[in-house]
Amino acid sequence: MTSQLNGSVLKAFKILDLFAAGKIELTAQETADALGINMITAHRFLHTLVHAGALRVTSRGVFRLGYMFADLGQRVMRDGNLAGLLQPILDQLARDTGEACMATEFDHDMAVCIAKALPDRPLYVDIRIGSKLDAFCTAHGKLWLAHMSSADQDRYFAKAELTRMTDHTLTNVNALKTELHHIREQGYATNNGERENDIYAIAVPILTRHGNMVSAFSVFGASPATLQTHRDRLLESLKTAATTAQNSLYGTDNADGTD
């Protein structure tokens, strides 16, 4: 039986979600238009959020996020067990694909393994929690780069050492930027022996509701033929797992709720 939802609470979070979409300031008119409510109701919601500390008034009729979110954001980053939340989803992904799977975060210009799941067979790829992957020549790394702004990409390439790891490694910045654009458009990245010979991987992003990347899932192994032969099946499983992770992190947002 589905629990009854509180529509007023959901609307309040939809107001806060407008800031997640990139807004710095918000007015009652913008709130009313975005939520499809009248001005009186919009004012009531906004001033209630101010009273709760979630918003602050910066000038007459103009609202910004309250400082309470700075503390909450730091707490989530410090205490939020992202790896623990993703682990059971990774375990299911490994069962569905029969391949090794991994999740990453991005830190100091490297993709870092935060969780992994292994198939019920020998694996000849040594990936451990905390393993760091070069950004320019791995599926996870290229995915993170693809979701950066152009300015952040330029900053990365200005100081990155683009070492040719194998015959398949791209080291030309313009060629890499072209590939990153393609990755962003198609929604996944691959590594076909670019960091180590005969190692393949395919990765998809885990996104916020507004398209910001918070983690990534991949399947990987030591059989490049697997990537070519089973790409569509692996992609379907990866995208299903990523959607499950996104719903766990941010909710399904598919219920209107009632007061």
* pLDDT reported for residue 258: 41
* Same domain membership, residue 155 and residue 117: yes
Of 47, 72, 97, which one is at a domain's C-terminal end? 72
Is 24 or 144 the better-scoring residue by pLDDT?
144
Q: What is the CATH number of the domain that holds 38?
A: 1.10.10.10
The residue among 41, 72, 103 that closes a domain is 72
Confirm whether 163 is domain-assigned: yes
How many distinct structural domains can be found in the chain? 2
C-alpha to C-alpha distance for 142 and 160, rounded to whole angstroms: 13
> Is 60 in the same domain as 167?
no
Q: Which helix (H) or strand (E) holds 58?
A: strand 55-59
pTM: 0.74
Q: Tokens 């990409």 sit at which residue?
A: 153
3-state SS assignment for residue 62: strand
Q: For 188-201, what is the HEC assignment?
A: CEEEECCCCCCCEE
- Of 190, 180, 184, the closest CA to residue 218 belongs to 190
> What does the pLDDT average to over 134-138?
96
Are 106 and 206 part of one and the same domain? yes
Based on the fold, state whether residues 93 and 169 are members of the same structural domain. yes
My answer on whether 47 and 135 are in the same domain is no
Residue 113, H or E segment: strand 110-117
Whether residues 20 and 131 fall in one domain = no
Distance CA 190, CA 182 (A): 11
Instruction: Determine contact, residues 153/145, Cβ cutoff 8 Å.
Output: yes
Q: How far apart are CA 221 and CA 189, in angstroms?
A: 15
CB 206, CB 250: distance < 8 Å: no
Q: What is the mean pLDDT of residues 139-166?
A: 95
Contact assessment for residue 97 and residue 234, using Cβ atoms and an 8 Å cutoff: yes
Digit-coded pLDDT (tens) for 203-259:
999 998 778 899 999 999 877 777 778 889 999 999 999 999 999 888 775 444 444
Tens-place pLDDT, residues 44-79: 999 999 988 888 898 888 998 887 776 666 566 556
Mean pLDDT of 147-167: 94
Per the DSSP assignment, residues forming a β-bridge with 111 are 106, 133
Domain span at 42: 7-72
